[in-house]
Amino acid sequence: MAWKWFDAELVKINEVNESVRRFWLRTQEKVTFEPGQFVTMDLPISEKRLKRWRSYSIASKVEEEDLEFIIVNLEGGVGTDYLFEEFKIGDSLKFKGPSGTFVAPQNPDFDMVMVCTGTGVAPFRPMIYDLLENQKTTRNIHLIFGTRHENGILYREEFEKLQEQYSNFRYDVCLSRDEIKGFHKGYVHEIYKRTYPIPKEDIKFYLCGWSKMIDEAVKILFVDLKYDKSQIIYELYG
């Protein structure tokens, strides 16, 4: 799909915790995207064009009017400093897109294991809703989400509700710093290592998050567990 430039207005902000916010942008023209894709925002943070561009995954459902983005405030990040400190309701920006091939497959005939940390869950949210609500698969979808503390669990109520509604959707949360009943203590790797220790051909792993997590996951899945490279698909953040 070819990308184009859109003019957008900030219509809503929700503070999830001290370092994460949800932003909703509204465009006059409907933005059509595949679940999992991202847009590249042109932020007023530099005179040089390429230094102004920041890419963020679309976290909203495909049918929603406004585009949602869930963003973490990076220490020393010029782009997120602007979004968190200066960007206000009613302000405008331009973005180009949608772009990216890290998307939900159409009518998959394999199980999907989605592994993410923090705001890496953003592309998975529209993927999961599209696959489940539009009945595009009866195969299993397993979301494994990792964060440090309980207040970092993103979209918790939504995913818990989906797990109750759909028998083929499983949701696991790992907390690396907190020990709370109902959640796993530790890191995301322990869950898929324990759940999928023996390679099967009808399963694919989708990974999204910081490079350190993805590097470790690829090593575990490919080198240690012996999954084929074609079964490991990932999107790097940062």
What does each of the 238 residues of the chain score in pLDDT, given as a tens digit? 567 999 999 999 999 999 999 999 999 999 999 999 999 999 999 999 889 999 999 999 999 999 999 999 988 899 999 999 999 999 999 999 999 999 988 899 999 999 999 999 999 999 999 999 999 999 999 999 999 999 999 999 999 999 999 999 999 999 999 888 889 999 999 999 999 999 999 999 999 998 999 999 999 999 999 999 999 999 987 5
> Which amino acid would we find at residue 94?
K
Query: Are 232 and 115 in a shared domain?
Result: yes
Q: Quick one: pLDDT at residue 238?
A: 55
Query: Are 116 and 220 in a shared domain?
Result: yes
Question: Which residue range forms the structural domain that includes residue 73?
Answer: 4-99
Q: Quick one: pLDDT at residue 50?
A: 86
The verdict on residue 106 lying in a domain is no
Q: Which one of 49, 66, 99 terminates a domain?
A: 99
- Distance, in Å, from the CA atom of 50 to the CA atom of 232, rounded to the nearest integer, reads 30
In 3D space, the residue among 27, 35, 82, 79 whose CA is nearest the CA of residue 59 turns out to be 35
The verdict on residue 105 lying in a domain is no
Query: Are 89 and 115 in a shared domain?
Result: no
CATH classification of the domain holding 67: 2.40.30.10
Domain count, the chain: 2
CATH classification of the domain holding 216: 3.40.50.80
Q: Quick one: pLDDT at residue 236?
A: 82
Query: Are 87 and 140 in a shared domain?
Result: no
Query: Are 174 and 122 in a shared domain?
Result: yes
Query: Are 69 and 39 in a shared domain?
Result: yes
In 3D space, the residue among 147, 156, 57 whose CA is nearest the CA of residue 104 turns out to be 57
Query: Are 116 and 217 in a shared domain?
Result: yes
The verdict on residue 202 lying in a domain is yes
The verdict on residue 231 lying in a domain is yes
- Asked if residues 190 and 217 have their Cβ atoms less than 8 Å apart, the reply is no
What is the SS3 string spanning 91-132?
Answer: CEEEEEEEECCCCCCCCCCCEEEEEEEHHHHCCHHHHHHHHH
Structure tokens at 169: 């959707």
Query: Are 184 and 229 in a shared domain?
Result: yes
- Distance, in Å, from the CA atom of 180 to the CA atom of 178, rounded to the nearest integer, reads 6
Query: Are 94 and 125 in a shared domain?
Result: no
Residues 6 or more apart whose Cβ sits within 8 Å of residue 22: 12, 13, 14, 16, 59, 68, 69, 70, 71
pTM over 0.85: yes
Helix (H) or strand (E) holding 162: helix 156-165
Query: Are 16 and 70 in a shared domain?
Result: yes
Query: Are 135 and 233 in a shared domain?
Result: yes
Within 10 Å of residue 95's Cβ, how many Cβ atoms?
Answer: 26
Buried b (16+ CB within 10 A) or exposed e, 176-190: eeeeeeebbeebbbe
Determine the angle formed by the axes of helices 211-218 and 188-195, rounding to 10 degrees.
20
Query: Are 49 and 117 in a shared domain?
Result: no
